[in-house]
Copies of this chain bind each other. A is one copy, B any other.
Amino acid sequence: MARQATTSVEQWRALARQLRVDSIRSSTRAGSGHPTSALSAADLIAVLAAKYLRYDFDDPANPNNDHLIFSKGHASPLLYALFRAAGAISEEELLSFRRFGSRLQGHPVPVLPWVEVATGSLGQGLAIGVGIALAGRYIDRRPYRVWVLLGDSEMAEGSVWEAFEHASHYQLGNLIGILDLNRLGQRGETMLGWNSGAYAGRARAFGWHTIEIDGHDLDQIDRAYAEASEPRDAPTLIIARTIKGRGVSFLENRDGWHGRALNDEQARQAIEELGGVQTVSVQVAKPSASAAPAPAPPAGWTGRPALPTYALGASVATRRAYGDALRAIGAVRPDLIVLDAEVSNSTYSEEFKKEFPERFFEMYIAEQQMVAAAVGLSVRHLTPFASTFAAFLTRAYDFIRMAAISRANLRLCGSHAGVSIGEDGPSQMALEDLAMMRAVHGSTVLYPCDANQTARLVALMADQDGISFLRTTRAATPVIYPPEEEFTIGGSKTVRSSPDDQVTIVAAGITVHEAIAAADQLAREGIPVRVIDAYSVKPIDRTTLHAAAETTRGRIVVVEDHWAEGGLGAAVQEAFTTNAGWHGRLPLSVTHLAVREMPGSGTPAELLDAAGISARHIASAVRALLRSSDAEKRPDERGARP
């Protein structure tokens, strides 16, 4: 493809025509996709790429590269057409759009080196852009800009307004939103139609600089980008009135064409209207190399952290150990960034904030924005930890789900887990967080029971790729492990054990202490039981569970401060599938103690007991299992019993 400079309006026009043609070609070849949503934004992207974007397609890791996020991810044909025009992909690859095995998926994903985050769940791109822009302004201190192409339908998502408020609060002049105001959503007109003044009014009320333009007038687009690029302490929203399907007579501003590819004849006609298949290339400017490198870490900012230690038998909340550990790790890891959703004095992330305020971002009560910002920071190879009450991470589940598709490295901490929080009542109790976080692709789920264990697990999380989640407890609990005890992701600790164990109790977090109390009571009754602290809920320690099941003749009690579905109980049972190497060696009798009725307020002890997960209930479950197997066991087993 012959490269030709594209500096004039005429050349931009040619580029825009080609972007349209290629959007149609790829989606028609695929038989699906969103060509009309690509066509409305083609002029905006043509001018951006030809004159304003600073991006080295040969070096996507260049730290000075601008960032371009298609928040309206369904306009992927346009993005891929740009990649072809920029010489990043071949025509052949362009035409592999949406085919099995192609990097050019239906919505952009970072299997492509020039895509940094997955989009396709609307309302996320701007919030992630806030995270990248925070890095640029406050951490990286690099001159890159963050360009986010927004659809107008997604402006209905509350998460977009979280992004608006945080972007202005943090004075992110390096963030530029480009609103492709094409009026039409999937099934008809949006709430505000072409009322660009309404969008501008909302954006201004949220502290943004706004520019309203005709999104097909290349001069206006040019001037808008120039104005947006001027230094200022406010983010800019360019509100570009556009026409869905622009450039093809039978598509323009028509309902019923969302997410629909043209058939071959329609495509032929459309491409003819657009002037035929073209070979225009765009020379995207590389970023200036003059940007200062990131400041070198001060001396001492390397090596192993001096993790906090807690005396055996002391009473310390795991949430406090989380904060203490963050502070310790932060002292040797300049890449550690901490975010919190206005509860840092409850999650104890304020311990980090006190020491490293310049690496702490207050995200206020906006959990979606908090997670999105962490994803954005991880794009810049930082190591974000984000915390709030575990119950409120449910607010950000779609962002967490998408972060997995983004291959983001995201560390989450949820405090105040379970009924054991006590008097505040069920709205503050996380009882579904283990289920939610386990069902995230490639996630790591950790649930410590003491402070030393917590500190070690936080250190492991800092080195762990993918999405990890730490569940902490509100109440102070006894320290049961010495500071030098080692823990691993995928490990467990057997805290009570003998060769004569009759039943295995599997617990995690707060219930470990209940299980130990039950085991000690049962021991006094002459019933030895094994207690496993399954602090690594995902991946779970199958080997230890299998061995314990063999020893205790398949009798297992699992106890957790969580709804009965999808949490520790499910994790333990999964370990007894053939997938986990278990081949039905012996019958299992599994009793699962979990929260099954809606709790109210009360003391932690009252609520643990009312939920049937206290020491008393665990001991009863053990006795019941033994009674039941006494009654049912086969003759050959009876003889073997000690």
Q: Which residue of B lies closest to A258 (CB)?
A: B345
Q: Which residue of B lies closest to A553 (CB)?
A: B584
Q: Let me know if B190 and A364 touch, CB within 8 A.
A: yes
Chain B residue numbers with a CB within 8 Å of A425 are 98, 105-107, 109, 120
Question: Known: A153-B364, A346-B186, A427-B120. Is A579-B592 also a contact (CB below 8 A)?
Answer: yes
CB distance from A223 to the nearest CB of B (A): 25
Q: Let me know if B405 and A401 touch, CB within 8 A.
A: no
Interface window among A292-300, A309-317, A387-395, A524-532? A387-395
CB distance from A443 to the nearest CB of B (A): 9
Q: Which residue of B lies closest to A598 (CB)?
A: B441
Cβ of A157 < 8 Å from any Cβ of B?
A: yes
Q: Let me know if B109 and A600 touch, CB within 8 A.
A: yes
Interface window among A12-20, A160-168, A235-243? A160-168
Q: Which residue of B lies closest to A152 (CB)?
A: B365
Cβ of A301 < 8 Å from any Cβ of B?
A: no
Question: Known: A122-B365, A350-B187, A364-B191. Is A398-B394 also a contact (CB below 8 A)?
Answer: yes
Give 1 or 0 for each of A344-358: 1 = CB within 8 Å of chain B CB.
Answer: 111000100000000
CB distance from A277 to the nearest CB of B (A): 23
Q: Let me know if A32 and B424 touch, CB within 8 A.
A: yes
Give 1 or 0 for each of A571-584: 1 = CB within 8 Å of chain B CB.
Answer: 10110111100111
Measured in the bound complex, the distance between the Cα atoms of B201 and A73 in whole Å is: 31
Cβ of A591 < 8 Å from any Cβ of B?
A: yes
Chain B residue numbers with a CB within 8 Å of A459 are none
Q: Let me know if A578 and B570 touch, CB within 8 A.
A: no
Measured in the bound complex, the distance between the Cα atoms of B423 and A104 in whole Å is: 10
Cβ of A119 < 8 Å from any Cβ of B?
A: yes
Cβ of A610 < 8 Å from any Cβ of B?
A: yes
Chain B residue numbers with a CB within 8 Å of A422 are 32
Cβ of A563 < 8 Å from any Cβ of B?
A: yes
Q: Let me know if A186 and B106 touch, CB within 8 A.
A: no
Chain B residue numbers with a CB within 8 Å of A123 are 365
Q: Let me know if A365 and B157 touch, CB within 8 A.
A: yes
Question: Known: A574-B565, A584-B588. Is A601-B98 also a contact (CB below 8 A)?
Answer: yes
Chain B residue numbers with a CB within 8 Å of A118 are 426-427
Q: Let me know if B554 and A564 touch, CB within 8 A.
A: no
Q: Let me know if B121 and A158 touch, CB within 8 A.
A: no
CB distance from A409 to the nearest CB of B (A): 15
Partner of A428, one of B107, B582, B584, B629: B107
Cβ of A206 < 8 Å from any Cβ of B?
A: yes
Q: Let me know if A566 and B566 touch, CB within 8 A.
A: yes
Q: Let me know if B573 and A564 touch, CB within 8 A.
A: no
Partner of A438, one of B159, B201, B565: B565
Q: Let me know if B569 and A564 touch, CB within 8 A.
A: no
Q: Which residue of B lies closest to A406 (CB)?
A: B427
Q: Let me know if A423 and B156 touch, CB within 8 A.
A: no
Cβ of A413 < 8 Å from any Cβ of B?
A: no
Q: Let me know if A574 and B569 touch, CB within 8 A.
A: yes
Q: Which residue of B lies closest to A162 (CB)?
A: B158
Give 1 or 0 for each of A398-429: 1 = CB within 8 Å of chain B CB.
Answer: 10011011000000000000000011111110
Q: Let me know if A589 and B578 touch, CB within 8 A.
A: yes
Give 1 or 0 for each of A265-290: 1 = CB within 8 Å of chain B CB.
Answer: 00000000000000000000000000
Per the CB 8 Å criterion, the residue count for chain A at the interface is 123
Measured in the bound complex, the distance between the Cα atoms of B191 and A369 in whole Å is: 14
Cβ of A99 < 8 Å from any Cβ of B?
A: yes
CB distance from A129 to the nearest CB of B (A): 15
Chain B residue numbers with a CB within 8 Å of A2 are none
Cβ of A440 < 8 Å from any Cβ of B?
A: yes
Cβ of A227 < 8 Å from any Cβ of B?
A: no
Measured in the bound complex, the distance between the Cα atoms of B585 and A338 in whole Å is: 50
CB distance from A569 to the nearest CB of B (A): 7
CB distance from A637 to the nearest CB of B (A): 11
Question: Known: A439-B566, A566-B435. Is A202-B206 also a contact (CB below 8 A)?
Answer: yes
Chain B residue numbers with a CB within 8 Å of A161 are 158, 161
CB distance from A153 to the nearest CB of B (A): 5
Q: Let me know if A574 and B578 touch, CB within 8 A.
A: no
Cβ of A185 < 8 Å from any Cβ of B?
A: yes
CB distance from A250 to the nearest CB of B (A): 20
Q: Let me know if A398 and B395 touch, CB within 8 A.
A: yes
Chain B residue numbers with a CB within 8 Å of A578 are 589-592, 624-625, 628
Measured in the bound complex, the distance between the Cα atoms of B578 and A629 in whole Å is: 11
| Complex interface residues of chain A between 38 and 91 (CB less than 8 A to chain B) | 73
Q: Let me know if A427 and B107 touch, CB within 8 A.
A: yes
Q: Which residue of B lies closest to A156 (CB)?
A: B364
Question: Known: A574-B573, A600-B109, A610-B100. Is A565-B169 also a contact (CB below 8 A)?
Answer: no
Cβ of A131 < 8 Å from any Cβ of B?
A: no
Cβ of A640 < 8 Å from any Cβ of B?
A: no
Chain B residue numbers with a CB within 8 Å of A582 are 589
Chain B residue numbers with a CB within 8 Å of A171 are none
Cβ of A501 < 8 Å from any Cβ of B?
A: no
The listed residue with most B CB atoms (<10 A of its CB), out of A102, A104, A369, A424, is: A424
CB distance from A491 to the nearest CB of B (A): 19
Cβ of A92 < 8 Å from any Cβ of B?
A: no
Chain B residue numbers with a CB within 8 Å of A432 are 397, 401, 436, 439-440
Q: Let me know if A186 and B590 touch, CB within 8 A.
A: no
Chain B residue numbers with a CB within 8 Å of A319 are none
Measured in the bound complex, the distance between the Cα atoms of B185 and A185 in whole Å is: 37
Give 1 or 0 for each of A328-350: 1 = CB within 8 Å of chain B CB.
Answer: 00000000000000111110001
Give 23 CB contacts A-B under 8 Å.
A32-B423, A98-B602, A100-B601, A100-B607, A100-B610, A109-B425, A121-B428, A158-B366, A185-B365, A186-B342, A186-B346, A187-B343, A367-B398, A392-B398, A431-B441, A538-B565, A577-B590, A577-B591, A578-B589, A578-B591, A578-B624, A583-B629, A585-B587
Besides A100-B602, A401-B432, A404-B598, 6 more A-B contacts (Cβ < 8 Å) are A100-B603, A157-B162, A186-B343, A397-B398, A405-B426, A554-B584
